[in-house]
Amino acid sequence: MSTHNLVLTHGIDEPLPVTRGRLFDFPDDPIACMKKLQARHGNIAALEDEGQRIYFAFGPHFNHQILSDGTTYHSQFFAIRGSRKSPQRNLSSGLLSMNGEQHKRQRRLVMDAFLKKAILNYVPTIRKLTEEMLSEWKPGTERDINRDMTDLMLRMTSTILFGIDDADMAYRIGHMIDHWVHMNHELGMGAFVANQDIANRYGELLEYAGLLQTEIKAMIGQRKSNPNGSDALSLMISAHDSEGSISDEELIGQAALMFGAAHLTTAHTLAWTLFLLAEHPSVMSELHQELKTNLSGGFPSIEQVERLPCTERVIKESMRILPASSYSQRMTAVPTQLGPFALAPGAGIVFSQFMTHHMPELYPNPEEFRPERWLTINPSPYEYLPFGAGPRMCIGAPLAMLILKTVLPTILQQFKVTAIPMSEVSGKVISTMLCPTTEMIMRLDAQDGRFESQPVRGNIHEMVDLREVRTVRKAA
């Protein structure tokens, strides 16, 4: 990134923490860009390119200021909205594009589908799909774990959200939403650069949005004709308050957002956690003992998962060090002061889970994967925020935790996962999500309780300190 300091003055003689560079440096490599800005300026900074700025605010103080105040700081997730009433506009109008009273009301209405009572209905689906996946796994083989987790979550999310009774249709629509989200990401980048190829593909996106909307509308129609469904969409259709229920146009946006928000975040969390465990034999060993002592070899019951403290610490630590949602953004709705910056309405601000979770003052030796740190720390909601914080904190967090706490123990009771020596493991934040960018090939063996880490290459070493990895061989 070729940037240099631009020292502007504000007030009498205070320099503003502004770096002049290419705005595209940010989406190009968000973590590298944020680290450089923080190293140069501290926890509040701006990146400026020909008069345009992106503001960056790191750490609990700014997280609190930004995330607790939905009136000043609005969410506007999708860059390309399409014209009014167009399929693109409908599809991009889920919760993360709503603000104020509209957001509050819709959130209340869709929330019912993600409360504890509702998510318990999803357990048989989680179990069936996990067991189906594991029936394909064979000891002594190598598999791309990230691909398997992504496929598992594509099936699981689409079935839970759209159709416990019509999994094929749900799966097809899930696939289409995935593709549409991907196109939005690629073309959304066009907002940062002048690129003719990207501009030409805008029409393709709008056309695809039309196809996707037709499919989702048909699915909504089908769910309405069978009012007793227990999938999340059916619950959203039947939700109502004194003002009525969620309109079909709103359901289209909510369905697309739910799927986009749920699928890859959970898949990547599963894959990163398996990798971290494979590279930390002593942690894996402790976890293995816990699963062996408390479970009976198969899919755990809800009562059992509530009594797995080591599993809980492992998941918390994995989501701290490699948070699937690594940053997000807000836009000012009214003039406001953020640190030294007097912001006009429409200013874009980035806050970051990754940067907060890697602050040494909050988490000593932040690059070390040490689940045992959770025995002694109790961070505030603005210090630890893998699911966000404040009035738009993730509504799917209980469902995601249920999936993580059942799928990981089910896999690890049956299989031992080991990294392939000198394989590359790299990741990058793509469209706010920290995604593995290389295949994550792992060797599978029948679980025998003997664990050994392997040296790997790749930029994983910039995010996680694997030098301390200990090799522990422990008899089962």
Short-list 92, 104, 418, CA closest to 260: 92
Between strands 240-241 and 341-343, the pairing is: unpaired
Tell me how far, at minimum, the Cβ of 436 lies from ligand HEM, in Å: 14
CA–CA dist 95, 77 (Å, integer): 9
Shortest spacing between CB 379 and ligand HEM, in angstroms: 15
What is d(CA 264, CA 280) in angstroms, rounded to the nearest whole number? 24
Residue 109 corresponds to which amino acid? L
Nearer to ligand HEM, 149 or 469 (CB): 149
Could you tell me the smallest distance in angstroms from the CB atom of residue 236 to ligand HEM? 10
**Is the Cβ of residue 123 or residue 198 nearer to ligand HEM in the bound state?**
123
Interface residues with ligand HEM (CB under 6 A) are: 75, 95-96, 107, 257-258, 261-262, 265-266, 269, 324-325, 328, 386-388, 392, 394-396, 399-400
Alpha-carbon 412 to chain mean position = 23
Token couple for 312: 């809980």
Residues paired with 44 in a beta bridge: 57
Parallel/antiparallel/unpaired status of strands 433-436 and 427-430: antiparallel
Which residues 6+ apart lie within 8 Å of 228 measured at CB?
A: 234
Answer yes or no: are the C-beta atoms of 19 and 6 closer than 8 Å.
yes
CB of 351 to ligand HEM, least distance (A): 8
Contact 463, 427 (CB under 8 A): yes
CB of 72 to ligand HEM, least distance (A): 14
Min CB(387)–ligand HEM separation in Å:
5
CB 287 within 8 A of CB 408: no
Closer to ligand HEM at the Cβ: 285 or 432? 432
For residues 258 and 425, which CB has a smaller minimum distance to ligand HEM in the complex?
A: 258
* Sheet bearing 4-6, strands edge to edge: 4-6, 18-20, 44-49, 52-57, 348-352, 327-332, 73-74
CB 291: neighbour CB atoms within 10 A? Answer: 21
Tokens found for residue 177? 């939403």
Task: Give the nearer residue to ligand HEM in terms of CB position, either 21 or 70.
Answer: 70
Q: Which is nearer to ligand HEM, 66 or 419 (CB)?
A: 66
By beta carbon distance, the residue nearest ligand HEM is 396
The distance of closest approach from Cβ of residue 328 to ligand HEM in the complex, given in angstroms and rounded to an integer, is 3
Choice between 232 and 442, CB closer to ligand HEM: 232
75 vs 447, which CB is nearer to ligand HEM?
A: 75
Radius of gyration of the chain (CA): 23
CB of 399 to ligand HEM, least distance (A): 5
